[in-house]
Structure 1
Amino acid sequence: MTDQKTQPDTPYRLHESLGYHLSLAARLQERRLDEMLRTVGLNRTTWCILLAVANEGLVQPSDIAGFVGIDRTATSRALRGMEAAGLLARQSGKEDKRTRRIVLTEKGRQAVIKASPFARENGRLLVALLEDGEVEELKRMLRVLIDGTPAALPAL
């Protein structure tokens, strides 16, 4: 791949850009996982929220949003839909009745059990494409990109 940053006078080539390759790889694995999750009535967002509550013990919408990596508005919208579907419930806090906690319902627990093999299979398919040691190296490199990327875009 040509380093487009050091050659400003050449045309920008989409298929040579790192961002394009990252996006395409992510979309391909996301699409495969979404297709599998759809068979149990979930999508990637609802799946990630279920994992936040079921496996990480997160109960506050803001904590769930941070874990999943989506904004609070999208989280609230997803939580409302998941509550209507019977996957989650909201409970008042024990000390402060004004606080609301997100809890997993039995239907939500069953969804996690049913969907977990799909997520494992999707991960297995990705890992199978890489050589020994490449998975950890790829995770390391992606962490460098994630940690080094500013959250806000600069004004144009």
Structure 2
Amino acid sequence: MTDDPFRLHQSLGYRITMLARVIERRFEQRIAEFGLTRVTWCVLLAAGREGLSTPSEIAVFIGIDRTAASRALRQMEAQGLITRSSGTGDGRSIRVALTAAGQAALQAVLPIAQENAAHFEAKLTETELAGLRRAAAKLLQDEPRIVAKL
């Protein structure tokens, strides 16, 4: 045994992962009644509030791979939340747009997302929250290849 053993539950990666899971689970439990997951919610945000319209843009925005984004888009199209159509040019590009049902879901869930964020942010002072955001950005800044693959 070494003088400085690795302690899983004390490691930064473990704690950040667990925090992300707790935040996601709390949110997903509350949006399940709308037939949404965290990923489908993020697609609604990407297309409805950020103006992103291609699967690749949406995947990068959410931080998921293109395959996962395509799977979510197929599911959302079947639910009537989005439409997918051929884009301009050679016909191979896909354009994503929210339907009226997708817009309604976005508006219905937005207050839940805001409350979920506020629930966790309220546990920190403004200084702690600003510091956490700066620290997270700093930890991610030298990882472009990894972040781009998420």
Question: What is the RMSD of the two structures over their aligned residues, measured on CA atoms?
Answer: 1.6
1:8-19 matched pairs, under 5 angstroms: 10-19=4-13
Paired residues for 1:61-72 under 5 Å: 61-72=55-66
Greater Rg, structure 1 or structure 2? 1
In the other structure, the counterpart of 2:123 is 129
Residue 145 of structure 1 corresponds to 139
Determine which of 97, 108, 113 is the counterpart of 1:114: 108
TM-score between both structures, scaled by the size of structure 2: 0.90
Percent identity (aligned) = 47
Q: How many residues were matched structurally?
A: 145
Instruction: Name 1:49's counterpart in structure 2.
Output: 43
Range with greater deviation from structure 2 (9-18 or 77-86): 9-18
CA distance in 1, matches of 2:93, 2:57: 14
Deviations 1:4-38 (A, max 9, x none): xxxx7633211111111111111111110011111
Say if 2:72 is the partner of 1:78: yes
| 1:78-122, Cα deviation, whole Å (9 max, x unpaired) | 100100110000122245544320010001001001100110000
How far apart in 2 are the matches of 1:62 and 1:94? 15
Counterpart of 1:12 in structure 2: which amino acid?
A: F
**What runs of 5+ residues in structure 2 fail to find an aligned partner?**
none
Question: Which protein is richer in helix relative to its size?
Answer: 2
